[in-house]
Structure 1
Amino acid sequence: MKKTTFIWILLLFTHLSYAQELPKKISETDFSIGKSVHIESVLLDETRALNIYLPPSYSIDSSKTYPVIYLLDGSKDEDFIHISGIVQFGSFSWINMLPESIVVGIGNVDRKRDFTYPSQNKLDQTEFPTSGKSEKFITFLEKELQPYIDAKFRTTPVKTIIGQSLGGLLATEILFKNPELFDNYIIVSPSLWWDDEKLLDLQPASYDSNKSIYIAGGKEGAIMERTTKELYDKLKETKSQNTKLFYDFLENKTHGDALHNAVYNAFESLFKTDKK
């Protein structure tokens, strides 16, 4: 056997012997980014799951208060984890994109029921037989959820809502009918086709001029793209002088993957301050 061949074989066996020596487990703990809470809703007559992200400083500085971001479609297997990640990243001191915030992910029971107002369109009624209960859900947000969060956690008065697809339809309905419920609206790919686009026929209710509204969508078909832009144009015509309004067309995104990029862009647009 040649000397070089022998050396390679020796090195191979040496490598295999090391590879078989697995590291010993020293300890193991669960890793968590938040807490899950279940509340009994009298208005909805059901239990609702909340997933809550608290900033790292929450347990350190007991005098500090935090704005709250309410996330529709906020179940753990929906958008809670990745949106909370953007909030954590954006609030790092070296990023300084938005203030440290509490995220309240609202888990779904029946989003087609909760996120839609009654439609007169027969196809809507057939395909969404449980739909049309958004008024009750909005009342739940106002009368039960927001008071619970404000009582349970150290919050500031500043509230943001994030809604995508049917959640974007609901966020738009709240902006038009109950704008005082939130200070900042992040509306992504709203399903404004609902009820033959009749929500766009409404005149938005008057509201405090110091609101921030971000609207975004991607390549989602002619109706979705048109109605999203029409929402922006309508709000642009009616907004007050101090209202911040942004529109973002994500050309390389579709209905399924627009939310993450849109929320990141929204945080930069709505909250960005000078970086340290």
Structure 2
Amino acid sequence: MPLVLVAALTTGYAQKAQPLKVINTKPLVLATTEEVQSAVLGEKRVLNIYLPEGYKKEDTTKYPVVYLLDGGAEEDFVHVVGLIRYNTQPWINRFPRSIVVGIENTNRRKDFTFAVPNLDFVTRIGYKPEHFPAYGGSARFISFLKEELQPYINSHYNTSGQRTIIGESLAGLMATEILLKHRELFDNYIIMSPSLWWGKESLLAEAPALLKKSLDKDIKVYIGACSKDEDKIMYDDAVALDETLKKYGGSRMKVYYDYLPGEIHATIIHQAVYSAFRLLYPHTETQY
């Protein structure tokens, strides 16, 4: 008898069920997108900007800024913002609440590579010279960061002065070039699977001399390397970068090397960025 009763009740509810009625819809806003005109680059650029929870322009609270290369909405922006937003919740409190500036690409192979005399080296990594119809624009892109973007962000948002840059692959090459040639621009460098094969590892060869330049502030560097079974060249270059920085970087440069054998070039970013922030930022107490 009880089984019959349950069946009858279930049937009754099924008969009364009505389709859900939508009462209201609204966008789920994660960030804002700004289009700016760069005189240095001679083109419009798109910035995706995430502001931490509780951010108010009129407040005196200042926030670190994370500059994300490959920062388009269809690139790495959403993934990195998700990691930062989750880990800045008060019951976790692993990272400081931060502003994230994602720089959307127009031509990353041009912007993130430095000038070279020819492209005969690209075949060893699986490319052909025609894959790089434009290249060698890194000096101009670095000028854009220094002369236009950083001043713009500092003047429009409540920034603390602490700056982090994140780059993977060719963007990792760019972050490494900035570290070696203009390392005063950032306090923290998150470099993942960097394409240091560019120019036959010439940036690595120049590194000892470039690192002789004195610096009057502390720098932290995270180097993430993916599986050496996937790409031995890029793995070896990441190891060489780690060894070079530790040998020639001086007492004010702290270097963290992180080998992630379970990740490949295409999957390294989530685990590496998470690991990098835990290493680079000082311990914070959980607020819960």
Q: TM-score, normalised by structure 2?
A: 0.89
Of 33, 48, 52, which residue of structure 1 is paired with 2:49?
Answer: 52
Of 160, 163, 170, which residue of structure 2 is paired with 1:159?
Answer: 163
Letter in 1 for 2:238: T
Identity %: 40
Quote the residue 2:239 is aligned against.
Answer: 229
Could you tell me how far 1:13 is from its partner in structure 2? 3.5
1:53-68 superposed matches below 5 A: 53-59=50-56, 62-68=59-65
Could you tell me how far 1:22 is from its partner in structure 2? 2.1
Kept after mapping to 2: 8 A contact 1:187/1:216: yes
Higher alpha-carbon deviation: 29-38 or 88-97: 88-97
Q: Secondary structure at the match of 1:240?
A: coil
- In structure 2, how many angstroms separate the alpha carbons of the residues matched to 1:208 and 1:184? 14
Q: Does 1:251 align with 2:249?
A: no
- In structure 2, how many angstroms separate the alpha carbons of the residues matched to 1:152 and 1:209? 25
Q: Does 1:187 align with 2:185?
A: no
In structure 2, runs of 5+ residues without a counterpart are 123-128
Quote the residue 1:213 is aligned against.
Answer: 221
1:10-49 superposed matches below 5 A: 10=8, 13-18=11-16, 20-49=17-46
- In structure 1, how many angstroms separate the alpha carbons of the residues matched to 2:181 and 2:47? 25
- In structure 1, how many angstroms separate the alpha carbons of the residues matched to 2:83 and 2:248? 31
How large is the Cα RMSD of the aligned pairs?
A: 1.9
Quote the residue 2:179 is aligned against.
Answer: 175
How many residues of Structure 1 are paired with residues of Structure 2 in the alignment?
273
Q: Does 1:263 align with 2:260?
A: no
Could you tell me how far 1:161 is from its partner in structure 2? 0.2
Residue-by-residue CA offset, 1:8-43 (whole Å, 9 max, x unaligned): 76456435324x412222221111111000000011
Kept after mapping to 2: 8 A contact 1:96/1:272: no
Q: Does 1:240 align with 2:256?
A: no
Quote the residue 2:283 is aligned against.
Answer: 273
- In structure 1, how many angstroms separate the alpha carbons of the residues matched to 2:220 and 2:108? 25
In structure 1, runs of 5+ residues without a counterpart are none
Letter in 2 for 1:94: W
- In structure 2, how many angstroms separate the alpha carbons of the residues matched to 1:167 and 1:133? 13
Letter in 1 for 2:35: H
Q: TM-score, normalised by structure 1?
A: 0.93
Q: Secondary structure at the match of 2:35?
A: strand
Quote the residue 2:125 is aligned against.
Answer: none
Letter in 2 for 1:122: D
- In structure 1, how many angstroms separate the alpha carbons of the residues matched to 2:119 and 2:33? 37
Quote the residue 1:109 is aligned against.
Answer: 106
Could you tell me how far 1:61 is from its partner in structure 2? 6.5
Kept after mapping to 1: 8 A contact 2:196/2:204: yes
- In structure 1, how many angstroms separate the alpha carbons of the residues matched to 2:135 and 2:155? 31
- In structure 1, how many angstroms separate the alpha carbons of the residues matched to 2:77 and 2:54? 20
Structure 1 residues 122 and 60, CA gap change in structure 2 (3 angstroms): closer
- In structure 2, how many angstroms separate the alpha carbons of the residues matched to 1:274 and 1:49? 33
Q: Secondary structure at the match of 1:248?
A: strand
Q: Secondary structure at the match of 2:233?
A: helix
Letter in 1 for 2:259: F
Kept after mapping to 1: 8 A contact 2:69/2:103: yes
Quote the residue 1:90 is aligned against.
Answer: 87
